[in-house]
Amino acid sequence: MAWLGRFAPPPKGIFVVHGEPDSATALVVRVREELGWDATAPRYLDSVVLNFERAPSS
């Protein structure tokens, strides 16, 4: 959790995709409670549409 909490700025949300389902769910709970971030552990064959804006070119 320590390394995750150092992200600056924090992510808009995270997906926990590693580990057994119970362990992944436990990590999602910790992320939500300790960091206040949106977190989810997708189930097998779940799909997600990611929408993002690119940073302006310098």
Distance CA(11)–CA(5), nearest Å, equals 10
pTM value is: 0.79
pLDDT of residue 58: 61
Q: State the pLDDT at residue 1.
A: 86
Partners of 15 in the β-ladder: 40
Count of the separate structural domains present in the chain: 1
20-50 pLDDT tens trace: 999 999 999 999 999 999 999 999 999 999 8
Q: pLDDT value at position 50?
A: 85
Domain that holds residue 26: 1-58
Question: Does the structure show a pLDDT above 80 at 53?
Answer: no
